[in-house]
Structure 1
Amino acid sequence: MGAANVIMQLSNPAVGQGVAHSRVRSGRLDVHPIKRTRTTLSYLAVAVLGTPDERRAYRRAVTRQHAQVRSDRDPRATEEYSALWVDLQKWVAACLFVGSRDVLDLVEGPQSAEVAERFLLEGRVFGTTLQMPPAVWPGSLVAFDAYWNAETAKLRVDDEVRSYLLDVARLGFAAGVLPERMRAWHQRLTIGFLPPEFRRALRVRWTDKDEEWFVRQRARLVRVERALPLAASSLVYRLLLADVRRRIRRGQPLV
């Protein structure tokens, strides 16, 4: 589901161009897939499991990288953007919240209204671990839904960003390493996890047969996740958080 969430984030035209055109090659998924994946998952680990000091340290590191991602440095830009803009970071955080909520509902079942509201307030950490002020985050699910509906109405994916996103879905950076059949499976599964409005923005065909296949695949993944002990499910994030803490102690780069 991670690749689907990346596509959701980049379906915002400004975010999409900012990432697809980024000259910060050390942070590009298509150039350094392992490093980029580690950085992203480490950010999630720090946001959810880290201390306030660790979040501040990660925020400073990300800010230095984001300061270089601006449309005035991009001759191909048709959208104005800066990776430091709060509204774009709010959108990224909202996508991460929606993805987390969907996983929680799939694995544990629909949450009560009280739990859902509390989960929303906890979800603002996805933005505040970047540069988003806490006050910007919607204070209720009603406010969040209004924001989400307004933003998804603006989705637009140009041809260049579309090519980039489909390559992400198909794990193009792993061509020659992973079998073509596995990469095709990942692409189809990724498209399945996208809400319909994102599929439309991406201009991908999705049939009833595709949906039936996806529902079966998703059910298998949910069964596996439910069978795993919590310690196993969270192992990768706990290891990455330990790595972040080691890097902080040694004064090494975090991103």
Structure 2
Amino acid sequence: MPHDSAPDVDDDRTKAAERHALDAMATTALRDSVNWFLLLAGTSNVIMQLSARPIGHGVKDSPVDEGNLFLNPARRRRTTLGYIAVAMLGGAEERAAYRRATNRSHAQVRSPEGAEVTYNAFDPALQLWVAACLYKGAEHAYERVHGPLTGAFAERFYREGMVFGTTLQLPHAMWPATRQEFETYWQTSLDGLEMDEPTRAYLMRVVRLEYLGRTVSPRLLRWRERLVTGYLEPRFRELMRFDWSDEDEDRFARFNRRMARFTRVSPRWVRELPFRRSLHDVRRRLEAGTPLF
């Protein structure tokens, strides 16, 4: 009867209104982390995300060829950068559109029956881990330029970081309520990570730029591996079996100090340039009715 379904209708309307409010969330504090460090640490962040074994297998074995890094590297880079740009700089309509596009792609990403490692791209726990890694990347990008996050600004920055999850399908209630609760979640999650050899081998192929399909100079690859390693927390270095010496740390710190000085004196449009270009591409596609993915 009609009265029996009314509560469900009201609940759906409430959820829709809540989702729209989250999509419309201003990211004025989070925006201060939009800089070149997000790109420099991009591969490191991928390693962080895929260190959760189900996510590693979900990406490695994904049946979605269009989003496969080794089959369509340009498209994969565009959609990944587009997601970050929309989450951090976009508006409500762009976030909602990107979520719908992501959902269509993720609907195919689930483990086959009988798989040793089970995964489902719509698993909220896995989405929380991805969002948490992206948030950590933003936090690190901010702190490398501006110093530690503190006080009320730190909590506002953290709350705004929720967009990394809600631009997917993560229920906002799953995002830890405070930065301290997030840290507890993060440390507990680190303790539970494990990485198998197939995932490690896949990630090493990413580090070595094999998806480019051409020879890359050994010198560049050595520099890239040091950079990727430097932007990883010790636990992830351990999982990847990366070596890291005091000398490596000194060189890495000098590089970051130079990059931080350059970033601080750069106008905002320079700091945001790659992300602004990506957001412009998303808006152009939406206006033209072109698929985002």
TM-score calculated relative to the size of structure 1: 0.94
Query: For residues 245 and 116 of structure 2, what CA distance do their matches in structure 1 show?
Result: 32
Which residue, 111, 127, 130 being the options, matches 2:168? 130
Aligned length: 253
Residue 36 (1) aligns with residue 76 (2): yes
Give the residue type in structure 1 aligned to 2:177: G
Q: Deviations over 1:11-69 (max 9, x none)?
A: 01111111111121111122211110110010111111111121111101000100111
Residue in 2 that maps onto 1:107: 145
Residue 25 (1) aligns with residue 65 (2): yes
1:114-153 alignment to 2 at 5 Å? 114-153=152-191
Q: Conserved in 2, the CA contact under 8 Å of 1:166 and 1:187?
A: no
- Structure 2: gaps (5+ residues): 1-40
What is the CA-CA distance between 1:170 and the residue it aligns to? Answer: 2.3
Q: Conserved in 2, the CA contact under 8 Å of 1:171 and 1:186?
A: no
**3-state secondary structure, aligned to 1:84:** coil
Residue in 1 that maps onto 2:194: 156
Residue in 2 that maps onto 1:219: 257
Residue in 2 that maps onto 1:50: 90
Percentage identity across aligned positions?
Answer: 45
Q: Conserved in 1, the CA contact under 8 Å of 2:144 and 2:256?
A: no
Structure index of larger Rg: 2
Query: For residues 175 and 35 of structure 1, what CA distance do their matches in structure 2 show?
Result: 15
What is the CA-CA distance between 1:210 and the residue it aligns to? Answer: 2.1
Which residue, 84, 94, 109 being the options, matches 2:122? 84
Which residue, 169, 189, 194 being the options, matches 2:207? 169
Q: Deviations over 1:84-112 (max 9, x none)?
A: 11111110000011111011011011122
Residue in 2 that maps onto 1:72: 112
Query: For residues 225 and 169 of structure 1, what CA distance do their matches in structure 2 show?
Result: 25
What is the CA-CA distance between 1:197 and the residue it aligns to? Answer: 0.6
Residue 246 (1) aligns with residue 291 (2): no
What is the CA-CA distance between 1:175 and the residue it aligns to? Answer: 5.4
4+ residue runs over 6 A deviation: none
Query: For residues 223 and 36 of structure 1, what CA distance do their matches in structure 2 show?
Result: 31
TM-score calculated relative to the size of structure 2: 0.82
What is the CA-CA distance between 1:180 and the residue it aligns to? Answer: 2.7
RMSD: 1.5
Which residue, 63, 73, 77 being the options, matches 2:103? 63
Give the residue type in structure 2 aligned to 1:82: N
